[in-house]
Amino acid sequence: MADGHFVGSLRPRAERLAECAELLGPDLHASSDYGDEHSGRTPWELFGEEDAQNAVSIAGDAVATAYALVREAGVRPDLS
């Protein structure tokens, strides 16, 4: 994005998608699948219902943002 791929009104949406990806990225994925090996804690010990609700909210935001970005860019996605 810093190199100018997303301009004008598209940039904030693209930046938000990047934020969502960072929040729900590989580190969280590994912890939610395997737990914390260093402390010996399972995923169920690390995450609770509030964490799950937060993740679902971020994912929903990412989907809505992606749709809006595609729509604003004038691209017709093939959702088949």
Sequence-ordered list of residues with C-beta below 8 angstroms from that of 72, at least 6 positions apart, any chain: 9, 10, 13
Question: What per-residue confidence (pLDDT) applies to 1?
Answer: 39
Q: Could you please report the per-residue DSSP string of 36-58? A: BTTTTB-HHHH--HHHHHHHHHH
Structure tokens at 10: 């598209």
Q: What is the pLDDT of residues 19-75, one digit of tens each?
A: 999 999 998 989 999 999 899 999 999 999 999 999 999 999 999 999 998 888 887
pTM: 0.75
Between 1 and 80, the more confident residue is 80
Predicted confidence band of residue 4 (pLDDT cuts 50, 70, 90)? low
